[in-house]
Amino acid sequence: MPELPEVDVTRQGIAPYVTGRALHGAIVRERRLRWPVPQALGASLAGRVVRAVRRRGKYLLLDCDGGHLIVHLGMSGSLRLLPHGVPPGKHDHVDLVFAERVLRLHDPRRFGAVLWTQQPLEAHPLIRHLGVEPLSRSFNGARLHALTQGLRTSIKNVLMDARRIVGVGNIYASESLFLAGINPRTPARRLSHARCARLVAAIKHTLRTAIRAGGSSLRNFVRSDGAPGHFQLRARVYGRAGEACRRCEGTVRRIVQGQRATFYCPRCQR
């Protein structure tokens, strides 16, 4: 599933090519995504200029004259910048059409979304309940400690809760906890101020490293130019169950938390 790094890599890839450009419309081949693509999407977009491309959590936001496009990559989606005339593939569901190129959504599992809204984004039901951005200045040790107070749930599941912290995702939660030396099963309320500060630093480092690596391409994700990400090749614990820990040579273990796989080293993460 594309997480914050993959969405930010996509944002960086498309922003120079669409910012300041007018949309000519949209071609919708399949409306049945996670939420139905609006019937009149093409007419709604025609003539509107993209003023900025932003990210909020795992949502890609194209700020246009008089409204906003909200794009979610779902579990298997990616956005490609392509010249006109490239034939669509089986899972190429939506094209956003510009004068020089198209921005094409490829989504085999159809859990993505392309939505148009003219209401303030902070009031939109998909956006308004999102938690703190993990790469923002406001996310620090004190903020994380406050978020964990009284929570009996594991710290791994707190990191996965978008109502508290947005976009960290499964791969990067496991990697961050390893880097911070915190067992993923630790009840969140047991984390001290010092451990929260260490975990925040680990999360920021992990996410920034992943963005520089182009994200992770485990199955379907590719960047806007079609190239895969490479962070998965650097993973210390994720996907390495039964293999030797790269720090202590102990054995990496896999457990399931919240129906998602978690990877950790019992020696390094006590």
Q: Return the active site residues.
A: 2-3, 58, 260
Collapse the DSSP code of 148 into the 3-class scheme (helix H, G, I; strand E, B; otherwise coil) and give the result. Answer: helix
The residues, any chain, with a CB within 8 Å of residue 201's CB and separated by 6 or more, are: 180
Rg (CA), the chain: 20
CA-to-CA dists, residue 133 to 67, 183, 263, angstroms:
23, 23, 24
Spatial strand order in the sheet of 113-117:
50-56, 59-64, 67-72, 113-117
Q: Which residue has the tokens 């071609």?
A: 27
CB atoms within 10 A of CB 57: 22
CB 237 within 8 A of CB 156: no
